[in-house]
Structure 1
Amino acid sequence: MNSVVDADLVVLGAGLAGLSLAARLARAPSSPRVVVIEPRTAYQDDRSWCFWQSKQHELSHLVSQRWTTWSFSDSAGSAVRHHVPDLFYQYIRGIDFYSSAQADIAQSPRVDLRLGVRAERVSAVPNGVRVETSAGTLLARQVIDTRPRPAAAMLYQSFVGVEFECDWPHPFDPTEVTLMGSLAADKDGLSFVYALPLGPNRAIVEWTRFGVAPINRELLAGELDHVLTGLGLDDVRRVRTEGGVLAMGLGRQTGPEIPGVVRAGNAGGALRAASGYGFLRIQRWAQMCTDRLLAGQEAVGHPEEPWLRRTFDRIFLQAVRKHPERTAEYFLALARGVPPATLVRFLSDGARATDYAKIIFSLPWSPFIAQVAAPTVFTSASLAQARLVATPTATTCSGWTQ
């Protein structure tokens, strides 16, 4: 490799993962030389993220809404409400995160965000990596690839949502998130409503479906229109839309491994297999990776899932896949039978062995026992559907609620 490199680190993709890492490095007093390339030319208010956390944390200045209560309900409207003292369900608007990260990066002479640049070919060279882009070639000591890429998955969570304003009070309690509302399931899988009330006259409402294949966005949008009509919201002013597909339980990533390149972001294992939550997992990875790079160590991808979590998630997803018509029953059993703090710890990667025991005992045994020794099964649609998921789309709040 040429003795002169363009950067110590090149980051491919400046979505949530790439920007989270770059902003942390930019805030450090002494950072390696970093170049971040991103094909989009500007950021739009096209997505948002939600998570459970205490009121004060490193990104609390970006939180635009917090709720103390979240609910689940069945198709008949029977609701279960959860609350954990001193814990809030929190919402960060996409454009606020993008703007904050860009402002941090702009203050650093050693972190360079290049918009409108696409990576075309990545290859190993002696002592480094060559990245051929639409704007020329970069030589780097290391590369972190956060770009979407094709991979088969056990299940897909497809959703579309709208943020709206109305001149009358909407039907949602402003103090409560509808986490999984009107839960219903049939042979094609699970469906539910997700609602974030942003005030008495403003909210985000999403329609979500689980299935063995991604659902066409136009089909979902039509179903969402039907949901809004049923809620008396067909004449609201639509401010913006969001939508996407989360691949849950990814299979082996396609493409050869390249020395000096690590994968991160959703395609690198950021999403929790059983729920799709990823925001806090990405923040933890970004901090870990930042600490290593500042210490002169190599970048790393997301850590491997602990055995217990990985095994439980596999069994859960396979039971959902095997009996899609029972999926609403499973989620309602969790909502009704698991203490709220336990369920939040499970969703937030903090579950203890005793928490898993409570979750297991809340679920019907027979469908899950049958999957204990069953081999891991991925969708038959394979790469054709995986390429659809790998296409960049607007995604919203991490998890069952996106």
Structure 2
Amino acid sequence: MPDEYDYIIAGGGCAGLSLLQALIRAGVAEGARILVVDRDAKEANDRTWCFWEAGEGPFESIVHKEWAQLDFHSDHLSRRLDIAPYRYKLIRGIDFYRHCHAEASRMPGIQFLQESVSEVFTDRQGAGVRAGGRTYRARYVFSSLYERPEPRPGKHWLLQHFTGWVIETEAPAFDPAVATFMDFRTDQQEGTTFFYVLPLSPTRALVEYTLFTGELLSTAAYEEALGGYIRERLGIGAYTVAEREFGIIPMTNHRFPARNGNVVYIGTAGGQTKASSGYTFRNVQKHSAALAESLKKEGHPFAVDATARRFGFYDSVLLDILAHRSLEGADIFTDLFRGNRAASVFRFLDNESALHQELRLISTLPTLPFSRAALRQLRP
């Protein structure tokens, strides 16, 4: 395996493979030498990605299931959301990995290396990585590897952690046309806590238990909560667990750097995880497309998002409220969906709304707690 490449992607998960696909679609990968380094072979169905999207996206061919109708529940509101023009989509990890590797196999210049990356560096000659006792160099390195930053005043670090079961029943128990987007009708003692239910067929569904808190729970606590919800809220007594998943997503207003020299950060390391909700997949796709387009047109991957500061401030304010628990997350999302069309909320959470739309949406939330949180975030 040669040591010199045009581009190296450190991390072959969602962010790394999404960028690789964007480079292929933009024509940047044609004739280029690209190395993707990851410690895992990515041969297991280890996660699912859910996101809302209007129209067809770059991974439409591998969308496992989608819904045009979503239900929202809390102690104060139960509503079927009108999400048009969006549809809520689910992609399985294994389908994503296989699709990306199959597309890459058609490009002779793309290689994969299964090793742990011990170092990512930049210097006068470009950038590189060290993995498996060897050094690999490139013009640019795209890295999704990150470490938790040191605590700083005004910076919050919550965890979105979730356990999901794909359950199967003998008799029909689900409506495949309707998914439960958020169900807050559960104990909120730990912090923002909800379930969602994604029916894959009348007898099969992904049921997930999600929390926004500072600490993880025990395995037994996750499983007890899931079992109780399935039994008591869904009214299902007999079922089998066909698949299990567990995940942790950082929710932070820490400003991750866009790059360091010729190392460009992607995924969570590049600030693409939505601090206030944890949603990442759509942000990763937009960021990947922008980097590929910048390489194609400008010759460098230093794309700049002009809206990042404004939406970053909104995220910081909401994260501040969740961290201090000056309002409960269940109440915030209830107010958002009671006072606004779901499409408006989705557009805002996708960082695609206009200022006047944002002011309208913010006006439906409690003024005093959000004003205090905003002042805390504006304070040096």
TM-score, with length taken from structure 1: 0.84
2:243 corresponds to which of 240, 245, 256: 240
AA in 1 matched with 2:172? P
Q: Which residue of 1 aligns with 2:223?
A: 221
Mapped to 1, the partners of 2:108 and 2:237 lie a distance apart of 49
**3-state SS of the aligned residue for 1:142?**
strand
Q: Which residue of 2 aligns with 1:262?
A: 264
Q: Which residue of 2 aligns with 1:62?
A: 62
CA contact (8 A) 2:193 2:212 kept: yes
Distance 1:279 1:119, change over 3 A: same
Distance 1:240 1:135, change over 3 A: farther
2:305 is the counterpart of 1:307: no
Deviation of the 1:250 alpha carbon: 3.8
2:4 corresponds to which of 6, 9, 18: 6
**3-state SS of the aligned residue for 1:370?**
helix
Deviation of the 1:121 alpha carbon: 2.1
Q: Which moved more, 1:80-89 or 1:365-374?
A: 80-89
CA contact (8 A) 1:272 1:278 kept: yes
Percent identity over the alignment is 27
Mapped to 1, the partners of 2:216 and 2:271 lie a distance apart of 19
Q: Where do residues 10-159 of structure 1 align in structure 2 (5 Å cutoff)? A: 10-27=8-25, 28=27, 30-75=30-75, 78-114=77-113, 116-134=114-132, 136-151=134-149, 153-159=156-162
Deviation of the 1:198 alpha carbon: 0.7
> Higher relative CO (CA 8 A, sep ≥ 6), structure 1 or 2?
1
AA in 2 matched with 1:45? N
Deviation of the 1:245 alpha carbon: 1.6
CA contact (8 A) 2:128 2:140 kept: no
Distance 1:253 1:339, change over 3 A: closer
Distance 1:159 1:111, change over 3 A: same
Deviation of the 1:197 alpha carbon: 0.6
Q: Which residue of 2 aligns with 1:343?
A: 345
Mapped to 2, the partners of 1:95 and 1:310 lie a distance apart of 32
Deviation of the 1:324 alpha carbon: 5.8
**3-state SS of the aligned residue for 2:89?**
strand
AA in 2 matched with 1:48? T
Q: Which moved more, 1:225-234 or 1:308-317?
A: 225-234
Q: Which moved more, 1:320-329 or 1:346-355?
A: 320-329
Q: Deviations over 1:202-259 (max 9, x none)?
A: 10000111123344454323322222232344532212112212211242559xx853
Q: Deviations over 1:163-220 (max 9, x none)?
A: 12111122x4321111111345645312111110111001000011112334445432
Deviation of the 1:110 alpha carbon: 1.2
Q: State the Cα RMSD in Å.
A: 2.5
Deviation of the 1:79 alpha carbon: 1.2
Q: Deviations over 1:131-181 (max 9, x none)?
A: 2211522122221111242236432211110112111122x4321111111
2:165 corresponds to which of 162, 185, 188: 162
Distance 1:47 1:128, change over 3 A: same
Deviation of the 1:328 alpha carbon: 1.4
Q: Which residue of 2 aligns with 1:290?
A: 292
Distance 1:42 1:93, change over 3 A: closer
Deviation of the 1:17 alpha carbon: 0.9
CA contact (8 A) 1:120 1:131 kept: yes
Q: Deviations over 1:78-117 (max 9, x none)?
A: 5111113342111112111111100011110111122x21
Q: Deviations over 1:25-46 (max 9, x none)?
A: 3453724211010100342111
**3-state SS of the aligned residue for 2:64?**
strand
Q: Which moved more, 1:306-315 or 1:365-374?
A: 306-315
Distance 1:211 1:272, change over 3 A: same
CA contact (8 A) 1:190 1:324 kept: no
AA in 2 matched with 1:11? I
**3-state SS of the aligned residue for 2:130?**
strand
2:276 corresponds to which of 274, 277, 288: 274
Q: Which moved more, 1:196-205 or 1:300-309?
A: 300-309
Q: Deviations over 1:364-402 (max 9, x none)?
A: 22211111211479xxxxxxxxxxxxxxxxxxxxxxxxx
Q: Which moved more, 1:101-110 or 1:134-143?
A: 134-143
**3-state SS of the aligned residue for 2:370?**
helix
